[in-house]
């Protein structure tokens, strides 16, 4: 129990130390650490945390050392002194008790002592592990909040948000409603743009569509049925996604694109086609092992390192290769220059001509491609329509569009 209490207190301290180690080790922090004073701040925190770790170890040391000393003493006195004394006494007082009996006695006593000691150790370990097992059991028996349905998914026809509101459960004291009474329908083949200021709830809307959370109020329907009726994996499988913070994994380029292993000849061809469409094939073919080059330098000194824009293009290649009926893009062009962005949207709308595309945008120039635009403001749909309708309306969208356009024209 004492060891358990110590581990419990030590855990957050160790996690903090792990964080500092990670920050100094991972590539993405390297530039900031070199440029500013953050390294010194973190090192100070690291040293303070290391002191906390030492203090925690010291706090429990007397009890732990006391207990192991006491148990050593008891067992040693009982077995070594007690039994040895007894054997000695028998040898001295009993003529029939030979030197052979004495030495056999010592070796038997020693073996018995070792075995009993081991047994006591095991019993103590059992008890210690059962405390951890209890914690683990509580964790694995947690009921998921997003429940699986059983309905078989049919070919995609539509997605509908019906009076959807959402509040994150954090911060607990003052939770803020992020989406309020949002309703709209997206039909097969439509291209829908979602625009709005930072923090207006666009990404949250995408998370709800992908069922990372369920709405606090209202429902999302796919093909006319509540999305909770479908198994989560098969529901999500309908979507190809490109997130703002898209991640490449330390696997080969081809595996990052196809998300599969091993790859058949056809799948390798599909990966190549997707890379070609995303304008990355030439770059990949220049790599030492082409599509089979490992991504990142963490495990391979000659691994491939990509720029932000190239990473986004690879994300798009992955989405193209998945060939899902609905494509969701959360600011897919933030790391691209305007020319590359334009080309990317042309590729996407060409590859997904008959499919549904829902895309979040900052630069409104690409919203002109959309069949319908929704402008979110403080979690509500403030305006909706096609680009020309919204420009004619001369409201917030038109204002945002003109302000952005002015920057390019002047
Ligand atoms: P947008 O994509 O329009 O910039 P988001 O949907 O990311 O906006 O965020 C909307 C609001 O929700 C923001 O105020 C943000 O701080 C808050 N938010 C986003 N994610 C979480 C989260 N996991 N927990 C609590 N609040 C969050």
**Closest Cα to atom 5, ligand 1: which residue?**
201
Kindly give the number of the ligand 1 atom that is closest to the alpha carbon of 379.
Answer: 10
Residue 45 CA to ligand 1 center (angstroms) comes to: 29
pLDDT given at position 308: 84
**Residue 377 backbone phi and psi in degrees, to 5:** -140, 125
Q: Which class for 271: exposed (0-12), middle (13-18), buried (19 or more C-beta within 10 A)?
A: buried
| Total-model pTM | 0.79
pLDDT band for position 332 (cuts 50, 70, 90)? confident
197 CA: nearest ligand 1 atom: 3
**84 C-alpha to center of ligand 1: Å?**
73
Question: Is the model's pLDDT at 294 over the cut of 80?
Answer: yes
Tell me whether strands 239-242 and 326-330 are parallel, antiparallel or unpaired.
parallel
pLDDT of 362 above 90? no
Structure tokens belonging to residue 67? 């207990």
| Residue 384 Cα to ligand 1 middle (Å) | 22
Residue whose CA lies nearest to ligand 1 atom number 26? 168
- Torsion of Cα atoms, 30 then 34 then 40 then 42, to 10°: -20
Check residue 409 and give its pLDDT.
Answer: 63
- Give the mean pLDDT of 289-299: 90
Residue nearest to atom 22 of ligand 1 (CA): 168
Quickly state the pLDDT bin for 410 (edges 50, 70, 90): low
Nearest CA to ligand 1 atom 14: 199
Mutate to test the pocket of ligand 1, among 170, 194, 203, 380 (most ligand atoms within 8 A of CB): 203
As a whole number of angstroms, the distance between CA 52 and CA 150 comes to 50
Share of the chain above pLDDT 90, in %: 55
Tell me the β-bridge partners of 217: 165
**For residue 199, how far is its CA from the centre of ligand 1 (angstroms)?**
6
Ligand 1: which residue has its CA nearest to atom 19? 204
Residues with CB under 6 Å of ligand 1 are 168, 170, 178, 196, 198-204
Taking CA atoms, 401 is separated from 194, 211, 361, 370, 385, in Å, by 14, 31, 12, 14, 14
- Residue from 277, 351, 349, 355 nearest 314 by CA: 277
**Residue 307 is encoded by which pair of tokens?**
């720029």
Ligand 1 atom nearest to CA at 198: 4
The more confidently predicted of residues 307 and 409 is: 307
Strand partners, 171: none
Mean predicted confidence (pLDDT) in 30-50: 91
Q: Is 114 exposed, middle or buried (0-12, 13-18, 19+ CB in 10 A)?
A: exposed
Q: What is the residue with the minimal CA distance to atom 27 of ligand 1? A: 168
pLDDT in tens, 132-191: 898 899 999 998 888 889 888 889 999 999 999 999 988 888 888 999 999 999 999 999
Q: How many residues does the chain have?
A: 410
* C-beta separation of 178 from 166 below 8 A: yes
pLDDT in tens, 86-132: 888 988 898 888 889 888 988 888 888 888 888 988 988 888 888 88
């Amino acid at each position: 129990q004492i060891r358990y209490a110590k581990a419990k207190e030590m855990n957050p301290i160790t996690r903090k130390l792990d964080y500092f180690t990670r920050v100094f080790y991972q590539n993405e922090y390297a530039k900031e650490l070199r440029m500013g004073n953050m390294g010194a701040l973190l090192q100070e925190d690291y040293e303070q945390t290391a002191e906390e770790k030492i203090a925690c170890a010291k706090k429990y040391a007397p009890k732990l050392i006391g207990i192991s000393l006491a148990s050593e003493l008891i067992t040693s006195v009982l077995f070594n002194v007690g039994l040895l004394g007894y054997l000695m006494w028998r040898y001295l007082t009993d003529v029939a008790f030979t030197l052979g009996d004495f030495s056999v006695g010592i070796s038997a006593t020693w073996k018995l002592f070792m075995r009993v000691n081991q047994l006591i150790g095991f019993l103590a370990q059992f008890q210690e592990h059962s405390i951890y097992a209890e914690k683990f059991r509580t964790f694995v028996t947690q009921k998921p909040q997003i429940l699986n349905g059983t309905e078989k998914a049919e070919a995609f026809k539509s997605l509908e948000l019906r009076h959807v509101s959402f509040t994150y459960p954090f911060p607990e004291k003052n939770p803020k409603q992020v989406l309020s009474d949002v309703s709209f329908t997206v039909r097969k083949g439509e291209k829908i743009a979602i625009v709005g200021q930072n923090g207006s709830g666009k990404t949250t809307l995408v998370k709800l569509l992908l069922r990372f959370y369920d709405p606090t109020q209202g429902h999302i329907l796919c093909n006319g049925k509540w999305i909770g009726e479908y198994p989560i994996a098969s529901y999500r499988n309908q979507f190809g996604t490109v997130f703002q913070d898209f991640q490449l994994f330390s696997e080969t380029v081809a595996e990052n694109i196809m998300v599969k292993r091993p790859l058949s000849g056809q799948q390798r061809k599909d990966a190549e086609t997707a890379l070609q469409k995303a304008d990355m094939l030439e770059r990949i073919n220049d790599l030492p092992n082409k599509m089979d080059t490992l991504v990142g330098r963490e495990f391979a000194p000659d691994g491939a390192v990509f720029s932000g824009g190239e990473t986004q293009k690879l994300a798009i290649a992955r989405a193209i290769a998945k060939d899902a009926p609905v494509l969701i893009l959360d600011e897919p062009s933030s790391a691209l220059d305007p020319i590359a962005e334009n080309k990317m949207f042309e590729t996407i709308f060409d590859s997904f001509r008959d499919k549904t595309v829902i895309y979040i945008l900052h630069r409104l120039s690409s919203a002109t491609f959309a069949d319908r635009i929704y402008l979110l403001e403080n979690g509500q749909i403030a305006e909706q329509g096609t680009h020309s309708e919204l420009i004619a309306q001369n409201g917030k969208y038109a204002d945002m569009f003109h302000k952005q356009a002015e920057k390019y024209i002047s």
